[in-house]
């Protein structure tokens, strides 16, 4: 009997600790955004790398004097060109994945914010400012997120309007 009581008491203490840890982690959810959001400079970097590779090919070929060297250089520059192209493609894929990650993070924060207290790192609903990603400044990533949110809102609105139109047509047909 005493052992059962001790086990039950120990289980209740652990569940209380788990609950407290849960509430603490939810409260700190907004702080994760600092690590989730990053600057959207990868496209610029990809452009710079592509431009650098193009210049490297031009300059290297003009400075190559020997026929044998030019064949080798052309082969190497072709490889560099292909790598730069793949670099740009990978950058675009990473940007898409980053956008998806940021969107999911925001969705989770909004849903959790309905039920639990989340620290003030995220703007309160209806009190948003121009620093959408809450990284401390207003820059092109914030402009991007604003355009994305506006496009999503428009798509949802268009979808609702389409559903309403379909519903009206269906009721007319029934009459």
Please tell me whether residue 135 adopts helix, strand or coil conformation.
Answer: coil
DSSP letter at 27?
Answer: H
What is the tens place of the pLDDT at every residue in 35-89?
777 656 777 888 888 889 888 888 887 887 776 677 888 889 899 999 999 999 9
User: What's the confidence (pLDDT) of residue 133?
Assistant: 66
* Banded pLDDT at 90 (limits 50, 70, 90): very high
Q: Is the pTM of this model over 0.85?
A: no
Locate all alpha helices (DSSP H) within 28-66, ordered by sequence.
33-36, 42-63
Of residues 33 and 5, more confidently modeled: 33
Burial of 32 (0-12, 13-18, 19+ CB in 10 A): middle
* Cβ(106)–Cβ(123) below 8 Å: no
- For 83, residues 6+ apart whose C-beta sits below 8 A from its C-beta are 53
User: What's the confidence (pLDDT) of residue 7?
Assistant: 59
What is the tens place of the pLDDT at every residue in 94-130?
888 888 888 898 888 888 888 887 776 545 555 566 7
Distance CA 49, CA 62 (A): 20
Of residues 158 and 119, more confidently modeled: 158
Average pLDDT over residues 127-139: 68
User: What's the confidence (pLDDT) of residue 123?
Assistant: 54
């Amino acid at each position: 009997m005493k052992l059962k009581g001790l086990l039950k008491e120990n289980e209740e203490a652990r569940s209380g600790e788990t609950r407290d840890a849960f509430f603490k982690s939810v409260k700190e959810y907004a702080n994760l955004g600092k690590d989730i959001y990053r600057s959207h400079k990868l496209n610029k970097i990809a452009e710079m790398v592509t431009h650098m590779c193009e210049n490297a090919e031009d300059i290297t070929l003009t400075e190559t004097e020997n026929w044998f060297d030019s064949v080798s250089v052309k082969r190497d520059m072709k490889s560099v060109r292909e790598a730069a192209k793949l670099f740009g493609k990978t950058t675009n894929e990473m940007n898409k994945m980053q956008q998806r990650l940021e969107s999911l993070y925001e969705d989770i924060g909004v849903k959790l914010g309905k039920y639990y207290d989340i620290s003030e790192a995220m703007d309160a609903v209806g009190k948003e400012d121009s620093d959408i990603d809450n990284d401390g400044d207003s820059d092109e990533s914030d402009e991007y997120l604003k355009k994305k949110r506006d496009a999503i809102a428009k798509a949802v609105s268009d979808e609702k309007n389409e559903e309403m139109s379909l519903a009206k047509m269906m009721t007319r047909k029934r009459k």
